[in-house]
């Protein structure tokens, strides 16, 4: 996967500005295809320390054609809960679409380590990940 960082200045309409403009770093990530089968990319996100959590994901075949996309709100929780819920939701959608073998990518190292049993599951996710 190729990654690069690009600097830019965020521009907003003047009536919406609440703070001075600052330079922001953006990490641009490109999709890398699988050689065969389906690839599911998922991302969970949240607002605040214990805020609203949402998710999005996309499943593509080895040619890059989209099989399905989704976005879903899950209520309130933590960033790790958002990542776990989106992973489970993406897997359930794969099963619904009769996809029983897929390469799955998550951007949370903490969740990755929990899933491969490299670290223990926090109690908040105990019923969700086993």
Question: CA dist 52 to 48, 72, 76, 78, 85, Å?
Answer: 8, 11, 4, 8, 13
pLDDT of residue 125: 67
Every domain of the chain and the residues it spans: 32-125
- What's the confidence (pLDDT) of residue 27? 66
Is residue 69 within 8 Å of residue 98, measured between CB atoms? no
Question: pLDDT tens digits, residue range 5-48?
Answer: 333 333 334 444 455 556 677 767 666 777 778 999 999 888 77
Q: Tell me which residue of 25, 29, 19 sits closest to 106, measured CA to CA.
A: 29
Which CATH code of 3.20.20.70, 2.40.160.40, 3.30.420.10, 3.30.70.260 fits the domain covering 32-125?
3.30.420.10
């Amino acid at each position: 996967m190729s990654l690069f960082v690009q600097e830019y200045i965020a521009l907003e309409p003047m009536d919406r500005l609440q703070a001075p403009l600052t330079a922001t770093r953006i990490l641009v990530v490109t999709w890398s295809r699988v050689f065969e089968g389906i690839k599911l990319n998922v991302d969970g996100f949240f607002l605040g320390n214990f805020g609203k959590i949402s998710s999005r994901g996309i499943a593509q075949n080895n040619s890059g054609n989209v099989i399905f996309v989704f976005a879903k709100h899950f209520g309130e929780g933590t960033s790790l809960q958002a990542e776990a819920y989106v992973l489970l939701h993406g897997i359930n959608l794969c099963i619904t679409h009769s996809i029983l073998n897929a390469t799955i990518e998550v951007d949370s190292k903490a969740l990755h380590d929990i899933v491969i049993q490299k670290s223990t599951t926090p109690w908040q996710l105990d019923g969700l990940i086993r």
